[in-house]
Chains A and B, each alone.
Chain A
Amino acid sequence: MVGAPSIGIAVIGAGQVARRGHLPAFKAQPGMDVLAIMDIDAGLAERVAAEFQIPHWCGSHETLLEVPNVDLVDICTPPQMRFPIIEAAARAGKHILVEKPLATSLSDALAIREVVNRHGVLLNVVTNYRYFPAVLKAKERIASGRLGRIVTMNTLVSQPFPSDNTRSTWFYHPAGMLFDFAPHAVDLLMWLCDGIVERVVALGQDVTGGDMGFTNYLQLLMEFDSRAIASADISWVTGTSRFTVDVHGTGGHVSIDVRNNSFMELHGSFTPLDDTKAFLRRVLGITRDVLTGKYFQGAFAYYPQLMQEFIGSIHGIRRVPSPIEQGLMVTAVLDAAHQSLCHGGTPVCVRDLFPSPALYEEIVAVLRG
């Protein structure tokens, strides 16, 4: 984007995701000027503004939207608080980058789409896990047909309890777990196989037998329009931190250890040579990432690519990498999962959650692009 004018950015929410992910990514790149930051804890906004040398800080998004020369509003608040902020930003004509999930219900997501389209601004949902090199490599191999037709996928998402990372308590409600890390997993599955989830079954439990009062481990089963089937094993309770995706096609198999940025492809029998090559690649890759420090940044290391692509779409030189329809469809899948959980694992058709079949078809058509 050489020669393109700088984009003025205002960040809403000064929590960990902003401090460790978004702000370092913006500050590290030319052509992105962070002009203002807002947090409902104005003191925190002030401290973060000082740390990142941001000229304006405030405690309300209305004030923030009055800061001159802001082109892009970056929303890092908990999902329950986003709709009025997105609405105000869209009305003010600002483009929007929003953390995942887009919303915690399909109805909210549809309302967001309506308001964003009405005001003609661009919105991108954060999908930084797509930018791990191992994931990009898998995507390239799948898209180029090297795996044949995708038939099944499995993902394992084992995260520490949110309290290990944040004292925020907004996660702890009946659907909280679905809207914590699962958006990344569902997005990756849909993106990797370029498919639309049609039907969802979810079973989940509370490890304390009800004392916590919300689901903290669950399994999703998703059926795609291509007739591929995917499972997602999502947990807060094992004390481990893993994110893996296995994709099985009629022509081969890829296995991605996302967190360790490792990729393995298999065709036919798994020979000792495959094992050795995979092991060496994995060790070398992890060693390189440790030495460069990328390993310790985890998914935060991949925000810059995401930001660059979205800024590119604001300049009109590329498509929005993760448009509102993608975030909306991920929300719809998670909403369907929540409904299935509430009804003891009854299958839920995603299409049936939409107010009209025509709207569903319209969104699918946009995603098919």
Chain B
Amino acid sequence: MKVGIVGAGLQGRRRAQALTREERTMASVVSLKRSEYDDVFPGLAGAIELAGPLPVGSGDSVVIKINMCGSRTPETGTVTHPAVLDALLRYLRESYENLTISVVESDGTTVLADLFIRWLGYMPILEKWGGRWVNLSKQPMVSHSIKGRHLKEVPVAEVFQDAVFITVPKLKTNLLTGITCCLKNQFGCIPIIEKSVYHPYIHDVVTDINTVLRPDFCIIDAIIAMGGVQGPGTGVPVPFGSVICGRDPVAMDALGARILGFRPGSIGYIRKCARVGVGSLRYRLVGDPLPRVDFEVNRLEMSLLRLGAALQRRAQLRVRRSW
């Protein structure tokens, strides 16, 4: 299955890919394998094969969206670990011939993507496996009109054209949305820098993006995940020792939400993505049993911090109004 994203073709294809009402009630396969960063490959390959196969053919173009949302080192659980990217690129190179592999991320309000890709240890891996780095904020864009919940136009980088799209997020708590995982990783495909302008409408925007850029395959780096209440940048690194794979980003996020202690339907964008047919809330877990880990998520504290953020915005406004 390839992502066709040019002009009306993308919308047509995406509509065709949206699940039918019947499919939405079916459980999607989600695989979990135990893994550690010093030897990711066996676990990753096992998880891919349980959930797969990857929708890739020799000679294809593959786009891998990592999560590089801050300049924090990988052991903090903030960004996709380079060891996971290394294992994925090895898997792709050893399983398929003549792939064109692009690893992508965009600049953001707090993301200097061209610097972070060098700082956080990804470049040697790209060089080793012949992948190219693509800053989505510097790519030519094709704009797609949609009847979205918030967005009416979605700019999509040319690199996605006719490419297989693999999303490789972290499993993290997120002060704004509760959790962040496969679906919200596509928020980073929006090329504009000031993405924070979308924060008031985050659930709708994530839903809209995923109707245009639904990943063909999802790999969650949950070897060190992030718990606590200050994700996605500064939460608590939680060793979870797992790689999770699947083809349905909604089912993947539903499992991710459960792991972090949330009801999937309580996360706005997961619920909305399921409703518009991006995927199914139901999943069937295969592979290793779920580890039992305390992610130290205090929902009350999270709500109070959200209130604090609102008070902060108000205080800043008050300062401006004071003169």
Bound complex: CA A207 to CA B315 (Å): 35
Closest to A291 in B: B311
User: Measured between C-beta atoms, what is the minimum distance from B225 to chain A in Å?
Assistant: 15
Counting chain A CB atoms within 10 Å of each CB, the highest count among B193, B312, B315 belongs to: B315
Residue of B nearest to A208 (CB): B119
Pair A28/B322 contact, Cβ less than 8 Å: yes
A307-349 near B? 1/0 per residue, CB < 8 Å: 0000000000000000000000000000000000000000000
Interface locus among A120-128, A164-172, A226-234, A355-363: A164-172
B323 close to A28 (CB less than 8 A): yes
How far in angstroms is the closest Cβ of chain B from A49?
A: 14
Interface residues of A in 153-180 (CB under 8 A from B): 160-161, 163-165, 167, 169, 172
Pair A167/B193 contact, Cβ less than 8 Å: yes
* A296 part of interface (Cβ distance < 8 Å): yes
Within B294-322, the residues touching A (CB, 8 Å) are: 308, 311-312, 314-316, 318-320, 322
Residue among B78, B110, B116, B121 having the largest count of chain A Cβ atoms under 10 Å: B110
Q: Would B72 and A239 count as touching, CB distance under 8 A? A: yes
A250 within 8 A of B: no
Contacts of A240 in B (CB 8 A): 234
Does A293 interact with chain B (Cβ within 8 Å)? yes
Interface residues in A205-258 (C-beta closer than 8 Å to B): 207-208, 211-212, 237, 239-240
The number of residues on chain A lying at the interface, defined by a beta carbon within 8 Å of a beta carbon of chain B, is: 27
Answer yes or no: A297 CB below 8 A from chain B CBs. yes
- Size range of the chain B interface in the assembly: 20 to 34
CB distance B73 to A237 under 8 Å?
A: yes
* Complex contact B233–A164 (CB within 8 A): yes
Tell me whether A169 and B115 are in contact (CB under 8 A).
yes
Q: How far is the CA of A295 from the CA of B318 in the complex (A)?
A: 13
Contact A239 B322 (CB under 8 A): no
Q: Is there a chain B Cβ closer than 8 Å to A59's Cβ?
A: no
B118/A211 in contact, CB under 8 A: yes
Q: In the complex, which residues of chain B have a beta carbon less than 8 angstroms from the beta carbon of A208?
A: 73, 119-121
Q: Do the beta carbons of A211 and B316 come within 8 Å of each other?
A: no
User: With an 8 A cutoff between CB atoms, is B143 at the interface?
Assistant: no
Find the B residue at minimum CB distance from A167. B112
Within 8 A of B (CB), among A44-76: 51
Give the distance in Å from the alpha carbon of A84 to the alpha carbon of B111 in the complex: 31
A24 at the interface (CB under 8 A from B): yes
How far apart sit A153 and B120, CA to CA, in the bound complex (Å)?
34
Query: What per-residue 1/0 map shows which CB atoms of A22-35 lie under 8 Å from chain B?
Result: 00100110000000
Q: Do A296 and B311 touch (CB < 8 A)?
A: yes
> Do the beta carbons of A239 and B318 come within 8 Å of each other?
no
Chain B residue contacts of A290, Cβ below 8 A: 308, 311
In addition to A208-B119, A211-B119, A293-B311, 14 A-B residue pairs with Cβ atoms within 8 Å of each other are A24-B323, A160-B234, A161-B71, A163-B71, A163-B110, A164-B70, A167-B109, A167-B193, A211-B121, A239-B76, A239-B78, A296-B308, A296-B311, A300-B319
B interface residues with partner A (beta carbon < 8 Å):
70-73, 76, 78, 107, 109-112, 115-116, 118-121, 193, 233-234, 308, 311-312, 314-316, 318-320, 322-323
Which residues of A does B touch, CB under 8 Å? 20, 24, 27-28, 51, 160-161, 163-165, 167, 169, 172, 207-208, 211-212, 237, 239-240, 290, 293-297, 300
